[in-house]
A and B are shown apart, each in its own frame.
Chain A
């Protein structure tokens, strides 16, 4: 069991209880948003019904995922990866009255707002364009480095999922789910 009382052997990335301590701090630097803040128009709330057709074909439920009725799926506008974020009671209560593309209520506490911003659930109107431009710059950098014969591709996995994956695999390795070594 995790400290939040969820099974450790089913993968989940719960916004209410982020394992920040397993995330390299340099990756948690999504800037604070000033001005109008929206719920990301490219996210999908699982409790509102089935995913839109363009996302449905890219969303595959894994049997090792923790079943939940309250998941927000967020599309990365640059890589087009779709990241699931599980919600506990606290975060579900904030998001249940909101909708993708709508302006965000102002009464969200700072720590909740920070987590939702890092998860790209809260965005500014030009966040997607900024992210695409940033990604293009990185890809150009990757291409230049690749002329040396190899390249390290960074920033492919959402930081929250790095923490959640570390926790999940530490648990599974320790419990002997995998045979390690040659």
Chain B
């Protein structure tokens, strides 16, 4: 007789998500705006943003200009297919939240859920689009997604996990209430342009 119950985390990976010219334009944008990135923060239980370098290290660009709406439309056009494969019922979309993240040498994001504080409770679906300069100049930076494990006392802990390695021009979708982390990235050159870049965000219900 088992004493735990495991809820597997559903996951969808789409390959060659953007056309080559779109991918090249996005990379150019990410590199050209290198001076505008800010240190990434985390949200406290009350929704206040704070820096915790033991928990999350990366650079984030929040102001994306026209890129925001363009990428939101692209994500939205794939949602029926993605939600069906995740076995998530369709939901009315309140808004998209999108940011550009550069993760460089030694940077990471420890275990967390994306909807774990009051101000982001409406996040329903998380997406992470990977892109980087060729030839790839970093190692690591895998996304680790944990199944939810429920014990007989009702405690939820991290169960078995699946690993998604960052692959050029791929996008990953998963429910925002899933426990996950970004494993440390290694960038031998430490150059910003060699970072692991993601255009990542959330679909709010």
- SS class, residues of chain A in contact with chain B: helix
Q: Check B15 against A19 for contact (C-beta < 8 Å).
A: yes
Q: Which one of A72-80, A101-109, A119-127, A168-176 is at the interface?
A: A168-176
State A1–B168 Cα separation when bound (angstroms).
10
Task: Assess A170 versus B19: contact at CB under 8 Å? Given A3-B13, A21-B78.
Answer: yes
| Residues of chain A within 8 A of B134, CB atoms compared | 175
| Residues of chain A within 8 A of B18, CB atoms compared | 170
How many B residues are at the interface, by size bracket?
A: 10 to 19
Whether a CB of chain A sits under 8 angstroms from the CB of B14 is yes
- Smallest Cβ distance from B129 to chain A, in angstroms? 13
Task: Assess A167 versus B15: contact at CB under 8 Å? Given A173-B20, A174-B20, A174-B23.
Answer: yes
Q: Check A21 against B81 for contact (C-beta < 8 Å).
A: yes
- Chain A proximity mask over B2-42: 1 for CB below 8 Å, otherwise 0: 00000000000111111110011000000000000000000
Whether a CB of chain A sits under 8 angstroms from the CB of B200 is no
Whether a CB of chain B sits under 8 angstroms from the CB of A166 is yes
Q: Check A174 against B170 for contact (C-beta < 8 Å).
A: no
How many A residues are at the interface, by size bracket?
A: 10 to 19
Identity of the chain B residue whose Cβ is nearest the Cβ of A175 in the assembled complex: B134
Q: Check A170 against B81 for contact (C-beta < 8 Å).
A: no
Q: Check B16 against A166 for contact (C-beta < 8 Å).
A: yes
State A3–B166 Cα separation when bound (angstroms).
11
Whether a CB of chain B sits under 8 angstroms from the CB of A46 is no
- Smallest Cβ distance from B21 to chain A, in angstroms? 8
Whether a CB of chain B sits under 8 angstroms from the CB of A20 is yes
| Residues of chain A within 8 A of B19, CB atoms compared | 170
Interface centre among B16, B18, B24 (most CB of A within 10 A): B16
Task: Assess A1 versus B167: contact at CB under 8 Å? Given A19-B14, A170-B20.
Answer: yes
- Chain B proximity mask over A8-35: 1 for CB below 8 Å, otherwise 0: 1000000000011110000000000000
| Residues of chain B within 8 A of A171, CB atoms compared | 16, 169
Q: Check A2 against B15 for contact (C-beta < 8 Å).
A: yes
Q: Check B169 against A174 for contact (C-beta < 8 Å).
A: yes
9 contacts across the A-B interface (CB closer than 8 A): A2-B15, A3-B13, A3-B14, A3-B170, A8-B15, A173-B20, A174-B20, A174-B23, A175-B134
